[in-house]
Amino acid sequence: MLIRLGYVAMSTVVKNASPSKTMTATNFSKLLDREAAIRKLQRIGAENLHNTLRLLKHNRAHDIMVFRFSSRFIPLIGHEMLGDWDPIPALSAEFEELGSYAKQNNMRVSFHPDHFTVLSTPRKDVLQKSVEDLERHSAMLNAMGLGMEAMCNIHVGGAYGDKAKAAKRFVHNFTAMRMPIQRRITLENDDKTFNALETLEIAEEVGAPMVLDVHHHAVNNHGEDAVQLWPRIQETWLARARLHLDEASASLPPKIHVSSPKGETEPRSHADYVEAGPLYTFLKAIAPITPKLDIMIEAKMKDSALFKLMEDLKGQEGVTALDEASLQL
């Protein structure tokens, strides 16, 4: 099994490279000159994109091929305050430069729209905002010149007292979206509501690949074994490739998220680093049926946690490091 490791949004190694500098609505409205306020927003956006490019360069230098972009590139994007000013075309040069770099270096990049994007909602206004948010994320990937292999990962959402009904609503709302948006979505099991099996069933139904979060699974399950679920989860990736017959996504390995609990009192919170032991056990079990796997590390120490995990996995039997961020098992 060929394994590539990646991390999320920001680096603890590269200094002063925030990809998510922001500006609040209050602050925006405090500026009396609207033109100046928009110029400031655009400048912050350009800076965030530039810092992200610096991170991709750092990644290349350390063989890191998997990366998740911050969803906060552009402060207040989608806020009515911005009127008809569209920040994505305004920053097209910066987006293009970032996307080209990722593409040239065959990097796998993604977004994770945050928990305000909920397709299971019964509220029409929330649904509309959620779809708009997904449209914007997709528009950013398009502005980067990236294809359908660059995806947006989301959760199923809330249960509202009736999980079966919420799941039905999710499926309905998901399939009502434009196909290019649907195709860009992966579904991840969450730590409180929709567990791995429930998420898997929905992913199968809507034809979306599933991202297994092994930490979420550990704190939210009905006794299912992740290893037992794995063949079906892997199949959602193959099914997607068959469904759309596109080369880029056919070669997309399944992706999992890994993190470790902060402590016994906070079992759901993310620790600074990732413990290699339980992960190694899982990897060892799925290796015989999994040719390729990408692992997204969700730890406070970001890329430092990645390098530490590499070191720890290298010490395990049957593991060979291929470079600074990929392994053979």
Partner DNA sequence: ACCTGTCAAGTCTGG
Partner DNA sequence: CCAGACTTGACAGGT
Alpha-carbon span 70 to 114, nearest angstrom: 10
Least separation, in Å, of the C-beta of 64 and DNA? 18
Alpha-carbon span 120 to 3, nearest angstrom: 33
Least separation, in Å, of the C-beta of 249 and DNA? 27
Report in angstroms the alpha-carbon separations of 121 from 130, 158, 185, 307: 9, 7, 17, 39
Which residue type sits at 155? H
- Cβ distance to DNA smaller for residue 262 or 284: 262
Give contact residues for DNA (rule: CB under 7 A).
Answer: 10, 18, 20-28, 72, 75-79, 114-116, 118, 121, 123, 125-126, 129, 133, 157-161, 193, 266, 268-270, 300
Report in angstroms the alpha-carbon separations of 98 from 67, 94, 142, 212, 280: 13, 6, 12, 27, 33
- Cβ distance to DNA smaller for residue 35 or 125: 125
Give yes or no for a contact between 21 and 44, defined as CB atoms under 8 angstroms apart. Answer: yes
- Cβ distance to DNA smaller for residue 185 or 286: 185
- Cβ distance to DNA smaller for residue 45 or 254: 45
- Cβ distance to DNA smaller for residue 28 or 282: 28
Beta-carbon contacts of residue 8 (< 8 Å; ≥ 6 apart): 67, 68, 112, 296, 297, 298, 302
- Cβ distance to DNA smaller for residue 122 or 318: 122
Least separation, in Å, of the C-beta of 248 and DNA? 28
Q: Which two tokens stand for residue 293?
A: 């796997």
Least separation, in Å, of the C-beta of 58 and DNA? 15
Least separation, in Å, of the C-beta of 155 and DNA? 10
**To 10 degrees, what angle do helices 196-206 and 226-244 make?**
20
Question: 51-77 burial, b for 16+ CB within 10 Å, e for fewer?
Answer: bbbebbeebeeeebbbbbbbbbbbbbb
Q: Please list the residues that pair with 257 across neighbouring strands.
A: 213, 296
Phi, psi angle pair for 6, to nearest 5°: -140, 175
To which residue do tokens 């398009």 refer? Answer: 142
Least separation, in Å, of the C-beta of 228 and DNA? 27
- Find, among 184, 286, 182, the residue nearest to 232 by Cα: 286
Least separation, in Å, of the C-beta of 92 and DNA? 19
- Cβ distance to DNA smaller for residue 164 or 179: 164
